[in-house]
A and B are shown apart, each in its own frame.
Chain A
Amino acid sequence: MARSISPALRISRRSLLASTAAIFLTSATSVRSLTISQGMPWGPDAARPPVPVRPGPWMFFTADEASMIEAAVDRLIPPDDRGPGGKEAGCAVFIDRQLAGPYGRGDGLYMKPPFMPGAATQGYQLPDAPAARYRAGLKALAGYVNSAFPGKSFRELSPQDQDKVLAGLDAGTVALDGTNAAEFFALLLQNTQEGFFADPVYGGNRNMAGWRLIGFPGARYDYRDWVERHNEPYPLPPVGIMGRSDWTIRE
């Protein structure tokens, strides 16, 4: 029987300090060990409400990158008579703010080497966080557009040509230098749809355009009076975490 602990399993003081220093550097709030007894440890301002995205300049994208993203999200979710497209709904702003934050940095992901290609069943195995993937992917996309449509940027292409490029990425038939086109497209599509359907507090789904499109009431709290009203449309409009714009008192 394996009774003794091998030396490899013992933790050196140095590795402990190195690892915990990393915790402090990456955590948004000050984390500390608590010893709790004799009642619930309640204190003021302990909650972590979301921080609403503010309008303003791009925080992650360059102007050129932003023009590509705004054009792309408007083809992935085009404006039509049902409602706004991805651009008007704020999907590009959403992605920008996500990439400028912990998601973009890949906080929390397991990033220890060795990085090796695996089977399709083993999940994403590359060392780059989402922000780095966008930076490389958009650069490669700009390069592709410049060679396939000389003198034009993605934003300047006709909607039909933009769709062709996006469909080529999706199918993996458009080659991007140094980037897996299909994987990059999948990430862009996922983040665009997140932006269209996430709570407006994150900068997308502006005026709850995504929720209105499908009839999702959002962060409603209580459906007790409607659960057994079968086959009857739910009567109330959507509401977000921050409420609704028409609830705001205008001075």
Chain B
Amino acid sequence: MPRKLPPKDVVIIGLGWTGSILGYELAKAGLDVVAIERGPWRDTATDFPPAYIQDELRYAVRLDLFLRPDQETLTFRNNVGEPALPIRSFVSFLPGNGVGGAGVHWNGQTWRFLPTDFRVRSQLEERYGKDALPADMTIQDWPVSYDELEPYYDRFEKLCGTSGKAGNIRGKKHAGGNPFEGWRSAEYPTPPLKQAYGPALFAEAARKTGHSPFPQPASNLSEAYVNPLGLKLGQCTYCGFCERFGCGNYSKASPQTCVLPALLRFPNFTAQTESEVTRINLDSTGKRATGVSYVDVSGEEWEQPASIVLVCAYALFNVRMLLLSGIGMPYDAQTGQGVVGRNYAYQTTSSVGVILKDKVLNPFIATGAHGMIIDDYNGDNFDHHGLGFVGGGYMGMGQPNSRPIQTRPVPAGTPKWGAQWKKATAETFNRAMSLSTHGSCYSYRDCFLDLDPTYKDRLGRPLMRMTFDFHDNELKMSAYLTDRLADIARALDPVEIATSPRKGPYTLNAYQTTHNTGGTVMGADPATSVLNRYCQSWDVHNVFVPGGASVFPQNHGYNPTDTVGALAYWTADAIKDRYLKNPGPLA
């Protein structure tokens, strides 16, 4: 029998961005909070020291900080007609592990969704007609508006100290920022990062071709900053080791740099690490959670009773936790009924490789989120009449890194090895750059998550099964965006351009992005959502999924973290201001 612990007010499953934000807000409100994290404790000084964090093999190739598939993995198939097989090593996407979660290994690209993204179905049907959307496309309006979420975006960006240039402050346009963005209540907390040569060249070409380039919003900080929790961040040194690494310089926003040292000062907060929650326990009615069960590394099983359960794991594992706990009706792709696992979506990325003549780009002078971007082809910022697709994405020159095990551009036709390969590699490294598009991925009836019938994890629980492929709409969108990006690339007077629009089928064999979304969607209708507009379970009112990307009804043309952070604050306020006073369904 599991050993029963003294009850807590709040139990948090997973101590990443959303877990640490909710932990801080609720501990500050006086609640007794425990966060249970399956991975190890990690902090900057101990685990990401600048003395050795710049190690591409260990962190970027052998994936030292990431979830190991023998801890948990998924099975995958492109469609329901195939047998799903386990992901034996993560390649296409890389779930994080340990305290800080994906907030440790992200690049720091800090984007808000567009106001029209929050009402995407209404927007597209109004502008292009009801028949414009494919019949099996299951996109839906968000249950919150951009205007409602704006103060929470602002809070998360202030927590991170995000560097950027506003293009729209309370409706007034500002030159040099993103002219397409939703209104901001204030300028970014810190000014934009400096730009290396590659992004500067792209910006010049984008301007020349009639576009509106602006610096990418970055949570790698342009200058020292003290956040509202009193924590100090340092100026980024452009070392080029962001994504897949922890930052040793306290320059990249993360739970470690932005929340945890303040959170751990609360005597009413406890973190329990190396302990994996196995399920959320329900009472006999099935309408109320009584807490969670977890197992520690000694094999001991514990029961942690709590009044509120917050599901704060990585997006994919939030979905699995609800499926394993029997919360909400599992989605059935055959009938279209059920909600848990429905509307799984991803991100549609592509690239344009450019080789320049006689330029010294120093591509290793980089940081995860600096770069120059255009947003002219995102969301519904451009007219889709006659294009044959909906959606879009941002594009530009990011230069997040140029680490040589994984980044060695060569001209087309270069052999993979031998003397010619060596010569081409040496001659190309410093004059090549990779432009990229970062596109939306809308949701479809046949893209979903459920429990696998065959494969089990180390504890004997079923793995989750992912059924996903890119649809024509996304592939056409990617082809169009990649062509527009190539048009700009030609203005760079390149020696060579290589366009790589996203092609189907979706494959696990190359890294694309760790932006897995959906499965515990928030919405206005319990028939098509797992959570209400406060990220609260429709079925079990004391269970919340406070803003992991699993709550996204579809994925838009931006990185998810800013929206994840905003929704975490949005949910924290709903719990503090409304739920605690009158525990019950908030919608």
Contact = CB atoms under 8 A, between A and B. Distances in A.
Q: Interface residues of B toward A: which range? A: 35 or more
Contacts of A213: 422, 425-426
A59 interface: no
B135 interface: no
Contacts of A46: 46
B197 interface: yes
B239 interface: yes
A241 B85 contact: no
Contact of B70 (A110, A119, A211): A110
Given A23-B297, A80-B419, A189-B416, A219 B87 contact: no
A234 to B, nearest CB: 5
B539 interface: yes
A68 to B, nearest CB: 16
A60 B304 CA distance: 47
A77 B68 CA distance: 32
Interface string B199-239: 01000000000000000000000000000000000010111
Interface stretch (B137-145, B176-184, B263-271, B440-448): B263-271
A241 B237 contact: no
A103 B402 CA distance: 24
Contacts of A121: 76, 78, 505-509
A119 B49 contact: no
Interface residues of A, number: 94
Contact of B359 (A22, A31, A202, A231): A231
Secondary structure at chain A's binding surface: helix, strand, loop or mixed?
Answer: loop
Interface stretch (B52-60, B114-122, B542-550): B52-60
B324 interface: yes
A163 B109 CA distance: 44
A75 B55 contact: no
Interface in B127-158: none
A228 interface: yes
A31 B71 CA distance: 14
A20 B297 contact: yes
A151 interface: no
B307 interface: no
A31 B38 CA distance: 12
Contact of B298 (A20, A75, A114): A20
A109 B326 contact: no
A248 interface: no
B189 to A, nearest CB: 20
Interface of A: 1-5, 8-9, 11-13, 15-17, 19-24, 31-42, 46-50, 75-78, 80, 82, 103, 107-112, 114, 116, 118-125, 163, 166, 170, 189, 192-194, 197-199, 201-202, 210-211, 213-224, 226-228, 230-234, 241
Given A20-B299, A82-B422, 19 more contacts: A3-B286, A5-B324, A11-B301, A16-B295, A32-B274, A33-B273, A37-B264, A37-B267, A40-B43, A47-B49, A82-B423, A110-B89, A122-B76, A123-B85, A194-B61, A198-B61, A218-B54, A223-B239, A223-B362
6 contacts: A42-B45, A78-B422, A109-B68, A214-B426, A221-B54, A226-B365
